[in-house]
Structure 1
Amino acid sequence: MKTDNLILLKTVSSHYQVELSFFNHLHDLGLIEIEIMEQSPYLHEKQIHNLERMIRIHHELDVNPEGIDVVFNLLQKIEHLQKDLMAAQNRLRLYEN
């Protein structure tokens, strides 16, 4: 199987100096997807941006994985509300002109 866009979880763990159990906990909460290939756990590279955010929240704010789940749910709601607001503002502009 190809591992072109996958990063070995041990590599990510050593790079960010985070224990593997942290990643497993995030996976159990549904925050990241871990793929097992050739008996080794991998992360897809498109998850790295959010993973870096999670690690920063964990290290800098000392938030546990359950708290990170709450924070990310709130961030998703904020992004959704911002999109709704932008759509409403665009519709309003049509009537103003």
Structure 2
Amino acid sequence: MRLDKYLKVSRIIKRRSVAKEVADKGRIQVNNKLAKSSTDVKAGDIITIMFGNKILEVKVTELRDTTKKDEAKDLYEILSEKRVDSAETP
């Protein structure tokens, strides 16, 4: 499944267009490699997303084409969520 679609379906990022934009700005890594919105994601992959002052690291546990809001949390496991100072962000 494409990275941008996974982020939308799992509701980590609310819109696919926003997920694509974040990925294209170089703020997402899959298994410690810079990822594009078209990067293929599979179960077991580690996704690191750099939001403004937060770094979120999740493990993909399941892939689905669609999901209900309350089931979206089952698609990933949060490994870490760190706040960073604006001086530290690249």
TM-score normalised by L of structure 1: 0.31
Structure richer in helix, relative to its length: 1
Q: Which has the larger radius of gyration?
A: 1
